[in-house]
Amino acid sequence: MLATGVFLMASPRDAAPHNLYEPACRMDGLVGNNPKSVKAGEFEVTGTYVPPTGATNFSVTVMILESIGPGGIGWATHPATMDATKKTWSATVLNQKPDSEHWVGVRCQFILDGNQMDQPAQELRKVRIK
Amino acid sequence: MNRRSLFGKVTGAVALLVAGRATATAAEPDVPHCKFGGLAGDNPHFNKKKELLASGTYRLQTGMTEPKVRLRILFAQCNNVISWHVFPAVLDHDSKTWSVIVPDRETHECWVGVELGFVRNGSDSVMEFLELRRARVVD
């Protein structure tokens, strides 16, 4: 009976709204391996995503740290290609300066309960362009 | 306890020990690292006292000594140059963990990296860090 009570108390937690601090999209694998520059002047990056329950129009954007100024951080953006079946995304970003270094992150956007939600990048990984 | 079951227990114990050693070896390759614990979006974070808290693990490679872990906070300057505020971490040599509490930080967008310094062959070196995490502001 006690166990049932504990179970009933614990159950609502499962139904709690998705924690929006928890990244809904992230890069795969290990830092240093992804993103990766295989060809000169470009890099590739891949990852997975988990849309919050009820989210629609889910999209992933690759964010590249471009500048830092008094107005804050400037980003270059590049849309990712989504695979809705595998819940993966990927992007190939072209026209990068050879031998340059970039900090790369990923941001996801979706509609939840009629509201446009924007989850900024939580992690940046360094990539050196070939 | 008969001889057969005793043999089984001894064999099992030896197998567990061997497996344990193999697992330990496989889990800890001789590769240095220095990284945040937990998930991006959770660690590092600001607490309600506007302190920035970060923690994680480190590992030295054979031949490296005197580990020093430093937190690097990306600092926005007006001339568009990326610069860093550096804060030393406190190390726990037994558990190979590090932690930092940075007091009185502005809680605006803040990106944080962590680097490992060490001595090898008598020279100071630093391992390049490849990851930055956004510090979460706790509401």
Residues B74-117 have pLDDT tens digits of 865 545 556 788 999 999 999 999 999 998 766 667 889 999 99
Nearest Cβ partner for B130 among A31, A69, A122: A31
In a domain, A31, yes or no: yes
Q: Tokens 């988990």 correspond to what residue? A: A50
Per-residue pLDDT band for B8 (boundaries 50, 70, 90) equals low
* 3-class secondary-structure state, position B41: coil
> How many residues does this entry show for chain A?
130
Residue of B33, B73, B131, B139 best to disrupt the A interface, most CBs of A under 10 A: B131
Structure tokens at A17: 């709204």
DSSP classification of residue A48: E
Q: Give the integer Cα–Cα distance in Å for B135 and B137.
A: 6
pTM above 0.80, yes or no: no
ipTM of the complex: 0.76
Res A55: pLDDT: 92
Chain B residue at shortest CA distance from A73 = B76
CB B135 within 8 A of CB B111: yes
Burial class for A49, CB neighbours closer than 10 Å (0-12, 13-18, 19+): buried
Of A17-31, A59-73, A115-129, B120-134, least confident by mean pLDDT is A17-31
Q: What percent of chain A has pLDDT over 70?
A: 80
Read off the pLDDT of each residue in A3-7 and give the average, rounded to a whole number: 37
- Domain count of the fold of chain A: 1
CATH of the domain at A122: 2.60.40.10
Q: Give the integer Cα–Cα distance in Å for A95 and A41.
A: 6
Of A20-24, A48-52, A63-67, B22-26, least confident by mean pLDDT is B22-26
Residues A54-71 have pLDDT tens digits of 999 999 999 999 877 666
In a domain, A1, yes or no: no
**Minimal CA separation from B127 to chain A, in Å:** 13
DSSP classification of residue A36: B
Residue numbers of the domain that contains A58: 18-128
Residue B41 corresponds to which amino acid? G
Nearest Cβ partner for A123 among B128, B129, B133: B133
Q: Give the integer Cα–Cα distance in Å for B119 and B67.
A: 7
Q: What percent of chain B has pLDDT over 70?
A: 71
